[in-house]
Structure 1
Amino acid sequence: MFNALNAMGGAGQIDRTVSNNTNTGIYCTFIVFGVLGGAIVNLFGIRWTICLSGLTYALYSSSYIYYNHTGNGNFSIATGPILGIGAGILWSAQGMVMMSYPMENRKGLCISVFWIIFNLGGVIGGIVPFVINYNQGKGNQAKPLPDSCYIVFVSLQALGALCALALSPPERVIRCDGSHVVLMRYTNARQEALETVKLFLNPWILLLIPLSLASNFFYTYQYGPYNGVLFTLRTRGLNSMLYWASQMVAAYAVSFIHDRDQFTRRQRGLVSLGLLFLLTNIVWGCTLAIQRRYTRGADDTHLTNDYPGGLIDFSESSRAAGPMILFCFMGAVDAHLQSFAYWLIGTMTNDSQMLARYAGFYKGIQSLGAAIAWQLDAQKAPLITQVIVNWVLFNFAIPFTCYVAAHIKDRSDDVVDRPVDDWLLDTRTSKLEDDYYREI
């Protein structure tokens, strides 16, 4: 729902300033709590951390109802840091589940299944504004989302958060080969703090920093200066739906590369990265060609942009086909990038606790890039400059990522799962822990 709202540009508002500043606040705290998120999840489990974190998304969306009525963006901006805390914890829990639950030869499929479910929310979120605003016509005057749209978003987000309480505890989850998902080890705040610091000393994780920075940087441009500027309100909703639907298809397609048993994992990683490199550069090349046709958006005039012919409506097939198809390909490339990044991290270990930390670190660095990108747009950086920065940043990450992919092991380091019964009977003293692992 959050993605669908932001994909419309300005979180459904005409002026993107409030949304840009709110998202900057989100990603600034996301940086910190992304890195700390793995430790928090390891200490408190996934059910309540996901539930409470999910409710921060509902708070964020509800703030725009207040903004619609008062024109005061302070409440929306204040919800940004709160959501950043929730998002950092939620995505750490999500990453741990997605990368540690499946067997090694099915991690690509599990990532794609998550991405399909995840983007189904974006599709539904795109349908809502499209249907509600369908009768507004294709007029050139930009309009904000009505309260009814935001109410639907808030309701779905709150429901989704509460559904997290129905999750089975990870220690009860067993893979189809009979192995336990979670390595039941004693952990505490001191140990988690030490393990978090170690992330900054891990050379393989550090090599992925450029890719992490680039992996959410482009959302600002695609959501705002592209979809939020070029299209009518109802078409922005339709575009959002198609964008996330394209991600669902692409995520499923790329899983066949990541799980192809006929090739080594190293070969799969290099092929996936090569395809990602090719497709991303094609997309940014086409984007640059369209961007050169306009320089500003509707928020500058409150009426229209300077794109030839004004705002694009889906009913104008000759004008809309190219830009709308390109937006779909932007979504497909995003799904490929995210799926590849998670799959690559998932090849490093099968340890659920480590994967929670790795996922949090990835999201934290990713959020640093996003915070910079949202502020670039908030400071009204030239749109063509934003395109070039995105393009250069992605290509800068390729050599580092390629080096990591070239050193993928065919099998991750084995992790010995501790029996659940022993864990439940354990008094959790450090001496018993030492004795247990010494015995193994």
Structure 2
Amino acid sequence: MENPIQSSIAGNQIATYKPNLAVEHEDVHVDLTIDRERYKVETSRWRRIRQHSLTQMLFISIQAFCGPALSDAISGLGGGGLATPKTSNIRFALDQGVEAIVCLFGAVLVNIIGVKWSLVIGAASFPLLGASYYCNSQFENQWFLILTAPFTGIGFGFWNISEGAYVMSIAPEAKRGKYLALWIVSRNAGQLVGGAINLAKNSTKDAGGGIDPSTYIPFIIIEALALPFAFGICEMKDVVRSDGTKILILPKLKNFEELKYILKTYLSKIIYCSFLFIIWSYFYNGPWSTYLALYFSVRSRSLSSLISPFFCIIGCFGLGFILDLSNKNYSQRKRAQFGFWLIIFLNLLVYIWSLIIQIDFIRNNPGSIDWNDKKFLKSFLPYFFIQTTGPLAQVYTYWILSSFAESGQDNIRFSAALKAIQCVGNAIAFGVSAADSFPLTGMILNCSLMVACIPGMWYITSKTPDRIPADVIAEEMILERRIKMEDPGQKDALDQVHTREVATLA
């Protein structure tokens, strides 16, 4: 009989590292399945509700709503809502540069202090963003806007590593796409609130310029609400998925060993083949934010931050449904390939439209476009659609990386690498936007990145395993435990099988 692990991942040549299948079950930090009846009797209702994977996904999504979503909403004001976008672009570039450094080595610290406390550290830094823009807009002290950038970079770095690992790990295998869509939508739902605030404060202003300083006060309040929900997060080893399974958590490694595995992750084929795709999936923020700031009035920008996320919600859940299709005719690999080309095609259409509009604006400056201008609709729609096609690529990035994860720790390493690369892309995007007064350069770079990322991502999609390796390994561990309990004499035979598997996978 073919071994289930070998049949699933032995041919996978782009895994981060090969799991030590000889690890004794007693060393694994969690039981991989639960006795539902016993769990119900021995565990209080509140604790069961709190530990449920959907509850934890809602908790992490609320934090995403309060933190990254409002950060995107501020960015979506066009240059952070400032009268001139240059200072804001410098601030975002610095923030993203620091965050990239944190993400590069942060996985070691996250594994030491745990996911929960990393999220607490990150959530505590969220209000600094709104406060810095308020002080700049109210008191014109640009130094505070720049000074807080490293602190928010550190906080968001810790939070994003943990967030990414958490959302990739806690979802049941058959619902990963929908869970990831819920999370991405939460990020965009924050923009709905931010947009409503923006529009209420700035609806009577027709000219270009800075956002009303009082606009940032509700942002600060909402950002502060993330911290209580961060304290409600469980460590990954305590989460119980809706299908009754738990996350495979291998024993903690020594710091030096963890650094070695992080290095192996960064040097693995799955990371360097997806490197350009990850940068590309977030690169649009810089040029299109500058586009909005340069060519639209304050109230038009406020309206954009309100209505832009609506179609994104439909798109993300639509993609999640496609990625979760469970049919013999739609293997995980086929879903990965179809999802990839769908995203490329949709973004290509938006890029062509955006470039045509931008070239026309360079030739004939439209001034400050208000929502009652005839050219508003055709000028605004490219920005509207990029706010959907961009997040689709982000949902896909997390989904495809989690398809190769071999443990919960693996998702932490994947998340750290992903966020580090993402921050590099954002830093470059906002840096280019700060140096160039027109967004055309950034748009052209964005198009070039999309074309350049295709070969590497096509290779990854062609190697996508039919099942998540971590779940296959967990099932093998459960099977081994049962065999040992039923017939202890099988231990030697199983150890010989493990030795052969390790030799095959190494």
Counterpart residue number, 1:203: 269
Alignment partner for residue 451 of structure 2, among 382, 390, 395?
Answer: 395
Query: Partner amino acid for 1:71?
Result: E
Report the equivalent of 2:38: none
TM superposition shift of 1:381: 5.5
SS where residue 295 of structure 1 aligns? Answer: helix
Structure 2 match to 1:95: 164
**Distance apart, 1:332 and its partner CA:** 1.1
Q: Specify the code of the residue in structure 2 equivalent to 1:341.
A: T
Counterpart in the other structure of 1:425: none
Alpha-carbon shift at residue 285 of structure 1 (Å): 0.2
Count of residues in correspondence between the two structures: 408
Q: How does 1:26-65 map to 2 (within 5 A)?
A: 26-65=95-134
Match of 1:17 in 2: 86
Q: 1:312 pairs with 338, 360, 369, which one?
A: 369
More moved, 371-380 vs 41-50: 41-50
Counterparts in 2 of 1:234 and 1:350: CA distance versus 1, 3 Å: farther
Gaps of 5+ in 1: 297-305, 420-436
Partner residue, 2:462: 406
Partner residue of 1:258 out of 319, 323, 328: 323
Contact residue 39 and residue 356 of structure 1 kept, 8 A = no
Contact 2:280 2:446 in 1 (8 A): yes
Paired residue secondary structure (2:474): coil
Contact 2:96 2:424 in 1 (8 A): yes
Which amino acid in the other structure matches residue 288 of structure 1? Answer: L
Q: Per-residue deviation at 1:379?
A: 1.2
Cα displacement (A) at 1:197: 1.5
1:135 paired residue among 198, 204, 209: 204
Deviation at 1:159, TM superposition (A): 0.9
Unaligned runs of 5+ residues in structure 2 are 1-69, 479-493, 499-506
2:418 partner letter? Y
2:204 match: secondary structure: helix
The answer to whether the aligner puts 1:123 opposite 2:192 as a matched pair is yes
Give CA-to-partner distance per residue, 1:326-348, whole Å, 9 cap, x none: 22211110121001111110100
Q: Aligned letter for 1:207?
A: C
- Report the Cα offset of residue 323 of structure 1: 2.3
Matched with 2:247 is: 181
- CA pair 114-350 structure 1, distance change in 2 beyond 3 A: farther
8 Å Cα contact 1:276-1:333 kept in structure 2? yes
Distance 2:295 2:267 in 1: 44
Which has the higher Rg, Structure 1 or Structure 2?
Answer: 2
Q: Distance in 2 between matches of 1:65 and 1:274?
A: 41
SS in 2 for 1:93: helix
Deviation at 1:315, TM superposition (A): 2.7
1:218 maps to 2:284: yes
Give 1:326's aligned residue.
Answer: 382
Deviation string 1:270-329 (CA, Å, 9 cap, x unpaired) is 111111111111100000111012239xxxxxxxxx633x2222233x322222222221
Alignment correspondent of 1:246: 311
- The amino acid of 1:295's aligned partner reads I
Report percent identity of matched pairs.
Answer: 23
Give the aligned residue type for 1:315. Answer: N
How far apart, in 2, do the equivalents of 1:75 and 1:228 lie? 22
Q: How far apart are residue 389 of structure 1 and its match?
A: 1.2
Amino acid at match of 1:10: G
1:438 Cα deviation after fit:
7.7
Query: Does residue 236 of structure 1 match 2:292?
Result: no
Can you list the C-alpha shifts for 1:79-134, whole angstroms capped at 9, x where unaligned?
11211111121111111111111122211111011112221112111111111111
Tell me the TM-score normalized by structure 2.
0.77
